[in-house]
């Protein structure tokens, strides 16, 4: 096969052109968006209790939300002894708390053919990927 005379030189996939960036953002660009997103402040819901933590968890750990008491076992933290229950029953009991955790968020970006439509200089698919990266 003969090469075409007026064909443009092949570009390496590591150096996308400006037009390709409008269609499909690079991984480095998406990772770079996480830095400015750190300065975005979201309004927090009002606290419903004086204790910290927004979501209850099934995991037991060192949290602020009391869950239950159980008999003391060797290796338990002595600071969590429930002295009132211990005095009432005559056997050492320890307090268990619900661990406070942030809920994980998974974003799925639609990459079907309907997302490859450009308005105002950028494809919807590229904008959705950039917004999900934030």
pLDDT in tens, 89-130: 999 999 988 776 666 778 888 878 887 777 777 788 888 888
Work out the burial of residue 123: count CB atoms within 10 Å of its CB; fewer than 13 is exposed, 13-18 middle, 19 or more buried.
Answer: middle
Q: Output the six-digit token pair for 94.
A: 């320890």
pLDDT given at position 66: 83
Q: Tell me the CA distances in angstroms from 122 to 16, 21, 31, 101, one per residue in order.
A: 15, 9, 19, 37
pLDDT given at position 44: 52
Measure the CA–CA gap between 10 and 16, rounded to whole angstroms: 11
Work out the burial of residue 11: count CB atoms within 10 Å of its CB; fewer than 13 is exposed, 13-18 middle, 19 or more buried.
Answer: exposed
Q: Output the six-digit token pair for 108.
A: 């799925």
Q: Which residue has the higher pLDDT, 71 or 35?
A: 71
Measure the CA–CA gap between 104 and 131, rounded to whole angstroms: 17
Instruction: Kindly tell me if the per-residue pLDDT of 43 is higher than 70.
Output: no
pLDDT given at position 5: 54
How many Cα atoms occupy the beta-carbon half-sphere of 80 within 13 Å? 22
**What is the reported pTM?**
0.35
Q: How confident is the model at residue 46 (pLDDT cuts 50, 70, 90)?
A: very low
């Amino acid at each position: 096969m003969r090469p075409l005379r007026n064909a443009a030189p092949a570009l390496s996939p590591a150096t996308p052109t400006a037009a390709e960036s409008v269609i499909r953002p690079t991984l480095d660009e998406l990772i770079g968006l996480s830095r400015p997103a750190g300065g975005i402040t979201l309004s927090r819901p009002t606290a419903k209790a004086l204790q910290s933590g927004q979501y209850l968890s099934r995991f037991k750990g060192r949290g602020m939300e009391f869950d239950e008491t159980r008999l003391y076992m060797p290796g338990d933290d002595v600071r969590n002894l429930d002295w009132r229950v211990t005095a009432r029953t005559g056997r050492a009991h320890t307090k268990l708390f619900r661990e406070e955790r942030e809920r994980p968020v998974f974003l799925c970006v639609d990459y079907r053919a309907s997302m490859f439509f450009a308005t105002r200089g950028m494809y919807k698919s590229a904008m959705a990927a950039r917004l999900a990266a934030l």
